[in-house]
Structure 1
Amino acid sequence: MSLVLACLLALVGCGGDDEAAAPENGVSISSSSDTQVEIVSSEPSSAALPVEMNVVMKESPRRRLMVLGEVNLPDQTRLRVRLVRDASNVSWRVMTTVAAGAFEAGPLGPSSGLVAGAYTLHVSMPPADVQPQEVKAVIGEKGRFLEGPYVENSPHGLGRIVKYATTYEVLR
């Protein structure tokens, strides 16, 4: 036991008080003789991205829904747009991509047109794992830079995702 203690004391004694510890997992710790410890991360600082979204729905003459949106997510971000009829839970969905800060989807609904009633429109961004590399570079690994009221944790542990929902009423 005393041999183990002697070895530990010898290891602790190696190196001066002003030396910085070797970086481990992207973090380096340096200390000085006044016992202050500074933690320096080699990872880039987080660039928070508070997600903003504005969605407009337009009903076509054939009673199908076109969705136009503006969003501050990076170009090439993949989005899922889904329209759900509240009374029956029947839904129509389409994938779209952000270009120049905007996206569009549709027409949504059956070819015969939407029947009167309430609908819920969902716009969501799938997890960062399925986004292009250029998008991941902006939103961070597992979407960690995403913030705001439309951002939540994925129910499957895949990081942060974007979810937006609003209602729409077909009157005729």
Structure 2
Amino acid sequence: MGKTLGSIGVALVGTLLLNGCSGPEEEVAQTQPTSVAEERASEPEQPTESMEPLQVAISTTASLRPDRRLMVQGETNLPDSAQVQVIVERELSRVRWQARTRVDGGRFEAGPFGSGSGLPDGGYLVTVQLGEATVQPESVQARIGPEGEYLAGELVSQSRHGLGQIATYSRRFLIGNEPRRTRDQVEVIEDN
């Protein structure tokens, strides 16, 4: 009988210990939300900030230096520090020169473009392109969106690589002493 009472006592103490340990855990589990959705529902809802679309505007002017190399200046409403690529292409030969630059105070400048001997007379296409948002600084991405989704207007298109929207502007210039006959809207840049 002594052994039975001892066994019952040990079993009773063990049962009390197990019940004593599990009680507070159950209480804690019952006071916490059971899911992330319930937890978020108990928080006040934050208003989502919607970004106003940026109607992209770019314009350029070009000037011929005394060494017959081309300088390109531009104005834009793209955010400061936006990286743009400026490409000058000779229409006749398709020879291209390009430079990367940044927007500063709504302006940018690139060049000089052309070989050391200068640009021959003829037609040239100047293209300015805002690259994908992934290559832009964080401050620019914040305004144009991580995939350029806040860009809008006729200059905006989908990038060739599927990395979001980009902006592209092109303008044609003629270089030479004699203006050529053309039906295009073109600016003639004369030698100084």
CA distance in 2, matches of 1:41, 1:117: 58
Counterpart position of 1:133 = 138
| Deviation (angstroms), 1:97 | 0.3
Q: Which residue of 1 aligns with 2:109?
A: 104
Q: Which residue of 2 aligns with 1:9?
A: none
Number of positions where the alignment pairs a residue of Structure 1 with one of Structure 2: 136
Matched residue SS, 1:138 = helix
Counterpart position of 1:14 = none
Q: Deviations over 1:1-57 (max 9, x none)?
A: xxxxxxxxxxxxxxxxxxxxx49xxxx9xxxxxxxxxxx995421321001112111
TM-score (norm 1): 0.75
CA distance in 1, matches of 2:47, 2:150: 17
Choose the corresponding residue for 1:144, options 134, 142, 149. 149
**What do residues 45-80 of structure 1 show as CA deviations (whole Å, max 9, x unaligned)?**
132100111211111111111111110011100000
Q: What is the RMSD computed on CA atoms of the aligned residues?
A: 1.8
Superposition pairs of residues 10-89 of structure 1, within 5 angstroms: 22=37, 43-89=48-94
State the alpha-carbon separation in 1 of the partners of residues 46 and 109 from structure 2.
Answer: 40
Take 1:122 and 1:54, find their aligned partners in 2: how far apart are those partners?
10
2:121 to 107, 110, 116: 116
Cα deviations across residues 68-111 of structure 1 (Å, max 9, x unaligned)?
A: 11100111000000100111111100000000110000111111
Q: Distance in 2 between matches of 1:101 and 1:51?
A: 12
SS in 2 for 1:152: strand
* Structure 2 unmatched runs, 5+: 1-36, 178-192
d(CA) in 2 for partners of 1:77 and 1:111? 29
Q: Which has the larger radius of gyration?
A: 2
Counterpart CA distance in 2 for 1:127 and 1:41 is 30
Give the distance between the partners of 1:110 and 1:148, measured in 2 at CA: 35
More helix by share: 2
Q: Structure 1 runs of 4+ off > 6 angstroms?
A: none
Residue 30 of structure 2 corresponds to: none
* Identity fraction in percent: 40
Q: Deviations over 1:120-151 (max 9, x none)?
A: 11100110000000100011111100011111
Q: Is there any run of 5+ residues in structure 1 with no aligned partner, and where?
A: 1-21, 29-39
